[in-house]
């Protein structure tokens, strides 16, 4: 008998209770001590050995059945956001100024449900690593786990993760092959000129003017240096120079963000940013330096793993409920760094079009508990199929 969402129905009440408990106790990235403690305790209660403190507050549970050397990784994120919750329901946040506005409470509960089910049924032959990641919201939790030896200590042949998607009906999945979500870069440009009296520009080099020219010239990068069929954006979102009306500033700073769907395009934009900043500054007799960092790699699904994930989804809900060509997402996700190490797939599960359907990162958001059994069923079926007993 094959696992379906109905198979997980007996765990629906437990998953809902865990999810609402996490929702009521949100914690920011690398501060998920209560959440991680609860995750570890629930895994251990099912007899799953647990490693704590992987990438600071991360937790990995490892369930080995049989003798096959095959291994699969399943990942959920645990952190919340610095948003004051606007909801009034009973499980609303009890931590002032913090809330689970991205559904990571639900992702964690779904993976705990799958772990509980797999520990009971053991219908597979091989090793499953349940990866509970901290600090997804821009603080580098995935990289912290990788740098802590995640895939050396817990090797995986394939890797799967899931994010809820508002405005996709409960009971639906969306699975893309190849690029799925943009990589995100943050940059700072430091301009140095020569300060002067505001009435005597001939004695100085105006860093504010140079910064303004750089900001304008940066907009030529996507327009003139990136292929029209590629997708990228560069936004200057910060410009700071000067403190007084009568002083030409000696220094100026610009900052902003880059989004693109391949490492090559991200690298090309970084190179052009440096050329434009340094060259423009030089034209005015100033200097400029670029600081560029990539907190989010592009999220790129391995085609074979995406086909596998889509097949599992079709088995669970029917092919007509699986969107195989959803639009590219300009937002970013740090599961991308794990997908650069292990072939895998990140997919979306419907969070509903009405109740619970408001956008993520909104103060009225809530994860839709109706999606829990299906999300857990995906993880269970992925294990049973990838590590099928002979
Ligand atoms: Ni999220």
What H or E segment, with its residue span, contains residue 40?
Answer: helix 33-45
Q: From the CA of 103, how far away is ligand 1's center (Å)? A: 6
Per-residue confidence (pLDDT) for residue 73, from 0 to 100: 98
Residues 60-89 have a mean pLDDT of: 97
Q: From the CA of 13, how far away is ligand 1's center (Å)? A: 23
Question: Given pLDDT bands bounded at 50, 70 and 90, which one contains residue 2?
Answer: confident
Q: From the CA of 102, how far away is ligand 1's center (Å)? A: 4
Q: From the CA of 345, how far away is ligand 1's center (Å)? A: 16
Residues 235-260 have a mean pLDDT of: 97
Burial degree of 96 (CB within 10 A; 0-12, 13-18, 19+): exposed
Q: From the CA of 332, how far away is ligand 1's center (Å)? A: 9
Residues 241-256 have a mean pLDDT of: 98
Q: What is the pLDDT of residues 314-336, one digit of tens each?
A: 999 999 999 999 999 999 999 99
93-99: long-range contacts (C-beta < 8 A, 24 or more apart)? 93/23, 93/24, 93/25, 93/26, 94/24, 94/25, 95/25, 95/26, 95/27, 98/26, 98/27, 98/28, 99/23, 99/26, 99/363, 99/365
Per-residue confidence (pLDDT) for residue 357, from 0 to 100: 62
Q: From the CA of 78, how far away is ligand 1's center (Å)? A: 9
Residues 78-85 have a mean pLDDT of: 97
Q: Give the residues across from 191 on adjacent strands.
A: 252, 288
Q: From the CA of 76, how far away is ligand 1's center (Å)? A: 10
Judge whether 290 and 279 are in contact, CB under 8 Å.
no
Q: From the CA of 206, how far away is ligand 1's center (Å)? A: 42
Q: From the CA of 354, how far away is ligand 1's center (Å)? A: 19
Q: From the CA of 157, how far away is ligand 1's center (Å)? A: 24
Per-residue confidence (pLDDT) for residue 4, from 0 to 100: 87
Question: What value does the mean pLDDT of the chain take?
Answer: 96
pLDDT at residue 354 is higher than 80: no
Q: From the CA of 104, how far away is ligand 1's center (Å)? A: 6
**Domains of the chain listed by start with CATH number:** 9-178+300-386 (3.40.630.10), 183-296 (3.30.70.360)
Strands (E), the chain: 50-54, 58-65, 71-77, 126-133, 158-165, 173-174, 178-181, 183-192, 196-197, 232-241, 247-248, 251-260, 287-296, 299-301, 322-323, 344-350
Q: From the CA of 101, how far away is ligand 1's center (Å)? A: 8
Q: What is the pLDDT of residues 169-217, one digit of tens each?
A: 999 999 999 999 999 999 999 999 999 999 999 999 999 999 999 999 9
Q: What is the pLDDT of residues 360-376, one digit of tens each?
A: 999 999 999 999 999 99
Per-residue confidence (pLDDT) for residue 356, from 0 to 100: 58
Q: From the CA of 246, how far away is ligand 1's center (Å)? A: 46
Judge whether 189 and 288 are in contact, CB under 8 Å.
yes
Q: From the CA of 368, how far away is ligand 1's center (Å)? A: 14
- Residue 103: both structure tokens together: 């559904």
Residues 10-15 have a mean pLDDT of: 98
pLDDT at residue 1 is higher than 60: no
Q: From the CA of 230, how far away is ligand 1's center (Å)? A: 25
- pTM of the full structure: 0.92
- pLDDT exceeding 70 applies to what percent of the chain? 99
Per-residue confidence (pLDDT) for residue 172, from 0 to 100: 98
Q: From the CA of 240, how far away is ligand 1's center (Å)? A: 31
Q: From the CA of 202, how far away is ligand 1's center (Å)? A: 52
Per-residue confidence (pLDDT) for residue 3, from 0 to 100: 86
Per-residue confidence (pLDDT) for residue 60, from 0 to 100: 98
Q: From the CA of 80, how far away is ligand 1's center (Å)? A: 9
Per-residue confidence (pLDDT) for residue 390, from 0 to 100: 76
């Amino acid at each position: 008998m094959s696992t379906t969402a109905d198979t997980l129905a007996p765990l629906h009440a437990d998953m809902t209770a865990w999810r609402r408990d996490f929702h009521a106790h949100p914690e920011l990235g690398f501060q998920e001590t209560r959440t991680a403690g609860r995750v570890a305790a629930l895994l251990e209660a099912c007899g799953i050995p647990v490693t704590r403190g992987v990438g600071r507050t991360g937790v990995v549970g490892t369930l080995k059945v049989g003798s096959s050397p095959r291994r699969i990784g399943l990942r959920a994120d645990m952190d919340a956001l610095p948003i004051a919750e606007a909801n009034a329901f009973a499980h609303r946040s009890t931590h002032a100024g913090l809330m689970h506005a991205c559904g990571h409470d639900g992702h964690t509960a779904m993976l705990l449900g799958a772990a509980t089910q797999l520990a009971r049924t053991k219908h597979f032959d091989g090793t499953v690593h349940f990866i509970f990641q901290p600090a997804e919201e821009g603080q580098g939790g995935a990289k912290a786990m990788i740098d802590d030896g995640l895939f050396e200590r817990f090797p995986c042949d394939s890797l799967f993760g899931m994010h809820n998607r508002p405005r996709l009906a409960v009971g639906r999945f969306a699975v893309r092959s190849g690029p799925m979500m943009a990589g995100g870069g943050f940059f700072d440009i430091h301009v140095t000129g020569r300060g002067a009296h505001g009435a005597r520009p001939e004695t100085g080099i105006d860093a504010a003017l140079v910064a303004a020219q750089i900001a304008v010239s940066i907009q030529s990068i996507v327009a003139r240096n990136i292929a029209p069929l590629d997708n990228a954006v560069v936004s200057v979102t910060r410009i700071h120079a000067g403190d007084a009306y009568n002083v030409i500033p000696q220094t100026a700073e610009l900052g902003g963000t880059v989004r693109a769907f391949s490492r090559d395009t991200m690298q090309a934009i970084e190179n052009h940013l440096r050329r434009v900043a340094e060259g423009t500054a030089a034209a005015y007799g100033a200097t400029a330096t670029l600081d560029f960092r990539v907190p989010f790699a592009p999220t790129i699904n391995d085609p074979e793993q995406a086909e596998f994930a889509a097949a599992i989804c079709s088995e669970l809900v029917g092919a007509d409920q699986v969107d195989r060509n959803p639009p590219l997402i300009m937002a970013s996700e740090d599961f991308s760094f794990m997908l650069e190490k292990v072939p895998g797939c990140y997919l979306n599960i419907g969070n509903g079009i009405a109740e619970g359907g408001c956008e993520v990162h909104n103060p009225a958001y809530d994860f839709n508990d109706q999606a829990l059994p299906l999300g857990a069923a995906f993880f269970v079926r992925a294990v049973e199929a990838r590590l099928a007993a002979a």
